[in-house]
Each structure stands twice: as structure tokens, then as C-alpha cells.
């Protein structure tokens, strides 16, 4: 068995869709309504809509379910077929679709390439050996962050799906135009019939995934705003105190401070402080009472913010007398 193949039971659907010019707003509204319908189906974990970027000309929609069986139930449902009919005026041609079963999704903001291959049964072993050679060659390139290979999903799709992740688009381009890749594509000529799509940012954000890396519905806008506030307040005050001895003018101090706080929030405050502190409030267990969870979460927020207020009051008024 390929040791790069994921082993958990979750399943992800990646759909690429070209949208008719001038219909972007209607498409997004329609897609959000259809995602709401998908949320009513058993096993639904979450859904995302990603607009086009410089790397991806199509709109990318991602569904995540807890099993391939539940994915299949949604894909083949009459509800989805009805909504697809409603959305025809907003799209250009049929969309492309890949289903991958298993595997934890990356939480880093990477660039991901999704490649699908149709492989006959007698060529599977040759295909796996060729994929291993591709992976070995890629791993020597700067910015390569790993790959995953997914078998066909019976009853859903016949293709093999490979995901390749890179740090940046420039890192990806170096691999795509390299002589090593051209040589390996020539070696795998019988597998040269493939479909490739590049997806920017690998669907990552501060709140897109749970602590185990699995897909999870994002918290509400209200919870998200409060969670960012919990992280932003100590981050900004601590950085202000750090920069205070430099006596920078306000325009320069804000410029430098905002840059530093952006990095600290993304790489330290949110993943190591806010998300662990508020994880049961941001993403409560499925059977947890909503009222109890919300009161407990708000209690933690109030206690933590009161703590920081006292700490910074003592630091700036009692011990060092900083500020007005």
C-alpha cells in the first residue's frame, strides 16, 4: 500500500466551475444556498467557496463529509440535481469534480495542485511506482510541502487523484517547467492523459479547521470577531510596549506595529493561544447544549480580558507609568 495514502474515513469533494461574466454575485448567492442544503445531509462537516485568483481561473467549491457514503448520498441527491438546474444560468458548461477519501487537510496557506489520472487495473502498480518517482523528484525542489495520493472512489469517480502542495506559486512554477518533471512525464507517457488544477491558499484560514487538521464548519461571524478581539488586544498592547522605547512617530509606529501584529496573530496568537483557549466555544461538540456552551465561552472571554486589563493597567500605571 502506498504510504502516502490517507487512512481516515472523511471525504472531500473539490468542484471547479467557470462562472458566466457578470453573474458572479448571483452564482455566489446560489452556491451558498446550495451549501445550506448540503448541510442538512448526514455526515456534513463543512463547505467553502473560493473565488478565482491569479492561479485559479475557476471558482472552487469544497464539500467535506465524514464518509464517502455520505458524500455519495449528497452528490446523487435529487436536492442537489434540482439546485444544479437552478444554477445553470450562472455557469459556463459543466463543472469538474474530484472526490478524495481520507486524509487531513492542510492548515497552512499553501498552493495546491489537484491532478486526476484514469488508470487501468493492469497498470496500477506501474502507476504507483511512477508516482513514487515523481514524489521523490518533487521533494528536492524548494518550497515542496508534501503530496497525497487517493485511490478511485467506487461508485463516485474512477480516477486516481494526487494533491501536491507548495509554499508559493513561484515554487510551483519551478517544478512545472523543470527538466526533471518533463523527463518523468515522458516516462509515464501511458498516464499522460490527466486533468490538473491549481488552487490558491489550500483553503486555509485562521478558523477553517479544527485542532486535528480535519475540516470543520467555521464559527459564526460574531464568535470569530470576539475571538480575534481576544487575541488582538494583548498582541497590540505588548507590541506597543515593546516599541515604546523607540519613541517612533505615530504614523511609523502604527505601520511597524500593524505589520508585526499581523505576523504574531497569524503564527502565534491564534494557533497557540486563542484557538486552544476557546476551541470548545468556537466549535462545540455535536451534542453539547448550545446555551451552556455559549455562556461558558463568554465567561472565559470576560475572565481572560479582565486578566489582561489588570495586567496592563499595573504595567503602565503602577510599575512604569507609560502612556496618558
- Bridge partner residues of 162 (DSSP): 115, 149
Residue ending a domain, among 203, 235, 262, is 203
User: For residue 42, what pLDDT is reported?
Assistant: 87
Q: Do 122 and 244 belong to one domain?
A: no
Whether 280 is covered by a domain: the verdict is: yes
| Structural domain includes residue 5 | no
- CA geometry: angle at 198 spanning 214 and 172, to 5°? 100
Average pLDDT over residues 211-237: 75
Using N-to-C axis directions, what is the helix angle for 24-38 and 78-87, rounded to 10°? 170
State the CATH number of the domain containing residue 29.
Answer: 3.30.70.100
pLDDT category at 211 given cuts 50, 70, 90 is very low
Reduced 3-state DSSP string for 66-78 = CCHHHHHHHHCCH
Parallel/antiparallel/unpaired status of strands 59-65 and 144-150: unpaired
Q: What's the pLDDT score for residue 260?
A: 92
Judged against a pLDDT cut of 60, whether residue 15 lies above it is answered with yes
Considering only residues 285 and 184, tell me which one the structure prediction assigns the higher pLDDT: 184
> What pLDDT score was predicted for residue 147?
77
pLDDT score for 314 = 92
Residue 205 pLDDT greater than 60, yes or no: no
The yes-or-no verdict on residue 105 having pLDDT over 70 is no
**Overall number of domains in the chain:** 2
Residue 2 placed within a domain? no
The secondary structure of 259-306, three-state, reads HHHHHHHHHHHHHHHHHHHHHHHHCCCCCCCHHHHHHHHHHHHHHHHH
Is 265 found in the same domain as 155? Answer: no
Range of the domain at 296: 221-319
Q: Which residue has the higher pLDDT, 293 or 190?
A: 293
Same domain flag for 28 and 151? yes
Q: pTM of this prediction?
A: 0.47
Report residue 97: phi and psi, to 5°: -145, 130
Asked if residue 306 and residue 188 are part of one domain, the reply reads no
Let me know whether 91 and 131 are in one domain. Answer: yes
What is the structure's pLDDT at 324?
56
Please state the rounded mean pLDDT for residues 127-150.
85
Highest-confidence segment of 70-79, 91-100, 162-171: 70-79
Asked if residues 241 and 317 have their Cβ atoms less than 8 Å apart, the reply is no
Comparing 55-64, 208-217, 285-294, the range with the smallest average pLDDT is 208-217
How high is the pLDDT of residue 286? 60
133 shares a domain with 64: yes
As a whole number, mean pLDDT of residues 185-209 equals 59
30 lies in some domain: yes
Share of the chain above pLDDT 70, in %: 81
Determine how many CB atoms are found less than 10 A away from the CB of residue 28.
Answer: 15
The pLDDT of residue 229: 93
pLDDT above 60 for 3: no
The predicted pLDDT at position 33 comes to: 92
Q: Which of 28-37, 166-175, 270-279, 286-295 has the highest mean pLDDT?
A: 28-37
* pLDDT class of 309 with cuts at 50, 70, 90: very high
Indicate whether 209 belongs to any domain: no
84 domain residue, yes or no: yes
Q: Is residue 212 part of a domain?
A: no
Same domain, 129 and 262: no
Same-domain pairing of 195 and 228: no
- What SS3 string covers 88-141? HHHECCCCEEEEEECCCCCCCCCEEEEEEECCCHHHHHHHHHHHHHHHHHHCCC
Name the H helices within 210-249.
Answer: 221-243
Collapsing DSSP states into helix, strand and coil, what is residue 56?
coil
Within this chain, do residues 32 and 178 fall inside the same structural domain, yes or no? yes
In a domain, 216, yes or no: no
168 and 299 in a single domain? The answer is: no
- Clarify whether residues 39 and 170 are in a common domain: yes
CA atoms within 13 A of residue 290's CA, in its CB half-sphere: 1
193 vs 136, residue with greater confidence:
136
Amino acid at each position: 500500500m502506498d504510504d502516502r495514502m490517507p487512512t481516515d474515513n472523511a471525504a472531500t469533494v473539490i468542484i471547479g466551475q467557470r462562472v458566466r461574466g457578470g453573474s458572479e454575485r448571483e452564482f455566489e448567492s446560489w452556491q451558498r444556498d446550495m451549501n445550506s442544503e448540503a448541510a442538512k445531509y448526514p455526515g456534513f462537516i463543512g463547505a467553502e467557496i473560493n473565488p478565482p485568483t491569479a492561479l485559479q481561473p475557476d471558482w472552487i467549491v469544497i464539500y467535506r463529509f465524514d464518509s464517502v457514503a455520505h458524500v455519495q448520498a449528497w452528490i446523487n441527491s435529487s436536492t442537489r440535481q434540482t439546485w444544479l438546474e437552478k444554477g445553470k444560468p450562472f455557469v459556463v458548461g459543466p463543472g469538474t469534480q474530484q472526490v478524495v477519501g481520507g486524509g487531513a487537510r492542510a492548515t497552512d496557506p499553501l498552493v495546491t495542485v489537484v491532478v486526476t489520472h484514469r488508470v487501468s487495473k493492469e497498470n496500477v502498480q506501474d502507476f504507483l511506482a511512477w508516482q513514487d518517482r515523481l514524489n521523490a523528484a518533487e521533494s528536492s525542489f524548494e518550497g515542496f510541502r508534501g503530496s497525497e495520493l487517493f485511490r478511485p472512489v467506487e461508485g463516485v469517480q474512477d480516477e486516481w487523484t494526487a494533491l501536491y502542495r507548495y509554499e508559493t506559486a513561484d515554487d510551483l512554477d519551478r517544478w512545472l517547467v523543470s527538466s526533471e518533471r518533463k523527463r518523468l512525464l515522458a516516462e509515464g507517457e501511458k498516464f499522460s492523459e490527466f486533468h490538473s488544477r491549481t488552487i490558491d491558499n489550500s483553503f486555509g484560514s485562521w478558523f477553517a479547521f479544527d485542532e486535528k487538521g480535519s475540516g470543520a464548519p467555521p464559527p459564526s461571524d460574531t464568535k470569530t470577531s470576539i475571538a480575534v478581539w481576544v487575541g488582538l488586544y494583548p498582541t497590540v498592547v505588548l507590541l506597543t510596549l515593546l516599541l515604546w522605547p523607540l519613541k517612533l512617530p505615530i504614523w511609523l509606529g502604527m505601520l511597524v506595529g500593524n505589520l508585526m501584529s499581523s505576523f504574531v496573530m497569524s503564527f502565534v496568537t491564534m494557533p497557540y493561544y486563542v484557538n486552544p483557549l476557546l476551541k470548545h466555544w468556537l466549535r462545540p461538540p455535536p451534542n453539547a447544549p448550545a446555551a451552556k456552551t455559549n455562556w461558558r465561552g463568554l465567561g472565559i472571554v470576560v475572565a481572560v480580558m479582565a486578566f489582561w486589563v489588570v495586567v496592563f493597567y499595573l504595567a503602565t500605571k503602577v510599575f512604569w507609568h507609560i502612556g496618558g
